[in-house]
Amino acid sequence: MAAVGKTLRSLLGEALGIIADHDFPDQWPTMCQELVSKINTSDMAVTNGILEASSAAFKKFDGAFDNGAQRCRPWPLHTHALFALADSMRYPLAAALADFQEPLVQLLELLTQEIGAAHQDKAALMPRFTVSTPAPSSFAYSHTLSLGRRYRMLRASSTA
């Protein structure tokens, strides 16, 4: 997937996001490790593909738990049970995504050094900026499960 053209890669990234939405983490617990294993600074196109795909995949989870009670409103479940369900799902996801965050920061730190060293070399700079571009989105959405004021507010309200 990571080695195909940009348009097809974008579509495959969306497909990965849909699969992740259903299967990650329960049915596909190694997704983050598998994505990280493909990151390779000597092949910028592949790394770019991984970051675009992971960004699309992680984006599916943004807000998924913050709005859990709202989305499940027709269900005859007590609100506390919904928060407990979100609690049980959120932390396995956060733990899995932590596997992704550290290598991604290392990649960005390495690219920063290489960009600094190649300041006068346009041919070396261009692919490094291209591969860096999807990284912030990928990183930010991987954080959406491990941080969250709204989540703490939900917990506080559920235990009040």
Among 10, 41, 79, 137, which residue interacts with another protein (rule: CB under 8 A)? 137
- Residues 105-134, interacting with another protein (CB under 8 A): 105, 108-109, 112, 115, 119-120, 122, 125-126, 129-130, 132-134
> Which residues lie closer than 8 Å to 100 by C-beta, 6 or more apart?
32, 35, 36, 54, 142
Q: Minimum distance between the CB of residue 77 and another protein, rounded to whole angstroms?
A: 25
Terminal Cα-to-Cα distance of the chain (whole angstroms): 48
Q: Minimum distance between the CB of residue 62 and another protein, rounded to whole angstroms?
A: 8
Site string for another protein, 70-109 (x = CB under 8 A): -----------------------------------x--xx
Q: Minimum distance between the CB of residue 76 and another protein, rounded to whole angstroms?
A: 30
Helix (H) or strand (E) holding 21: helix 6-23
Query: What's the CA angle centered on 68, arms 54 and 102, to 5 degrees?
Result: 30
Q: Please tell me what DSSP assigns to residue 30.
A: T
Look up residue 156 and give its two tokens. Answer: 């506080």
- Residue 144 near another protein by CB under 8 A: yes
d(CA 138, CA 63): 15
- Residue 136 near another protein by CB under 8 A: yes
Look up residue 20 and give its two tokens. Answer: 């992740």
Among 150, 153, 156, 157, which residue interacts with another protein (rule: CB under 8 A)? 150
Look up residue 58 and give its two tokens. Answer: 């992680």
Among 12, 89, 140, 155, which residue interacts with another protein (rule: CB under 8 A)? 140
- Residue 139 near another protein by CB under 8 A: yes
d(CA 127, CA 53): 18
